[in-house]
Amino acid sequence: MLRGPGDSFIPDGPLGTSIRRGRALLAATRDSLPAHVGNGLRCVSCHLDDGRRQSGSWVGVYVRYPQYRPRSATVETIEYRVNDCFRRSMNGTPLASDGPDMRDIVTYFWFLARDVPVAPVPPSSSRLAKWASLVPDTAAGARVYAASCARCHGPAGEGTAVAPPLWGPQSYNIGAGMSRVRTAAAFISENMPFDAPGSLTDQQAIDAAAFVNAQPRPDFPDKVHDWPNGDAPPDVAYPTHAKPHTGQPR
């Protein structure tokens, strides 16, 4: 998988300063941009290793946009996509698309796309397909959580000095990608426990994801406008105007 260029490729001068400042904003998001962050997370809480880890990788993201996305049913720019994570994953408010903070974040993404070819984007449904064959068990997930997660994320998901919150008022909101069970299962399976990634079975990962996402978290009132063409994936946990929810979220 692509790890992106090393720091030796960061140029001297204003361009290099912008790259480094963008990376710093993504790592210290709440301290740097308090007016735009509504929870206890930072961008790299989920985009690990400064966005160089496989799940949620930012390597090449610059050349994957503009991109049509069914959640908004529009062609999204990279700035739009960044602001989606501010509004949902960070439970906050968008940056000005033409301001210096957005510019520096996008410049860091541009740097990470060095030598990455422009290519068609695989649909997220194909990346998440393997999770569709597993049935999540929330009660089993509570046991996985107690055994493998609580020591860092806290017994009530509130976060500790070593790991961010997983639910409650300081967590990602219901409209965030991570609130989808399959998306969370993929992240957990590849990255958690932080000190032993890959040690969970797929079943344990999806059970933990279902348990975490069954807990209370901030609402996202605009969620009713998501997937306006009615093509929401099955693990979306909320009804939309285009698709009233009938069964249990999974």
Binding site for ligand HEC (CB under 6 A): 26, 29, 41-47, 56, 61, 64, 81-82, 85-86, 89-90, 105, 124, 144, 148-149, 151-153, 162-166, 172, 176-178, 183-184, 187-188, 192-195, 200, 208, 212
Least Cα distance to 240 among 62, 92, 72 occurs for 72
Between 8 and 207, name the residue whose CB sits nearer to ligand HEC. Answer: 207
Nearest approach, Cβ of 17 to ligand HEC (angstroms)?
19
Between 24 and 247, name the residue whose CB sits nearer to ligand HEC. Answer: 24
Max Cα distance, the chain (Å)? 56
Q: Do 187 and 56 form a contact (C-beta atoms < 8 A)?
A: yes
Between 18 and 45, name the residue whose CB sits nearer to ligand HEC. Answer: 45
**How far is Cα 189 from Cα 44, in angstroms, rounded to an integer?**
17
Nearest approach, Cβ of 112 to ligand HEC (angstroms)?
10
Nearest approach, Cβ of 234 to ligand HEC (angstroms)?
16
Burial class of residue 14 in the structure, from the number of CB atoms within 10 Å of its CB (0-12 exposed, 13-18 middle, 19+ buried): exposed
Residue tagged 């541009």 (tokens):
110
**How far is Cα 232 from Cα 236, in angstroms, rounded to an integer?**
7
Nearest approach, Cβ of 246 to ligand HEC (angstroms)?
25
Between 12 and 118, name the residue whose CB sits nearer to ligand HEC. Answer: 118
DSSP of 127-139 = HSGGGGGS---HH
Q: If DSSP codes are grouped into helix, strand and coil, which group holds residue 67? A: strand
Between 42 and 250, name the residue whose CB sits nearer to ligand HEC. Answer: 42
Query: Which neighbouring-strand residues pair with 67?
Result: 76
Between 18 and 29, name the residue whose CB sits nearer to ligand HEC. Answer: 29
Nearest approach, Cβ of 191 to ligand HEC (angstroms)?
7
Least Cα distance to 44 among 92, 85, 97, 76 occurs for 85
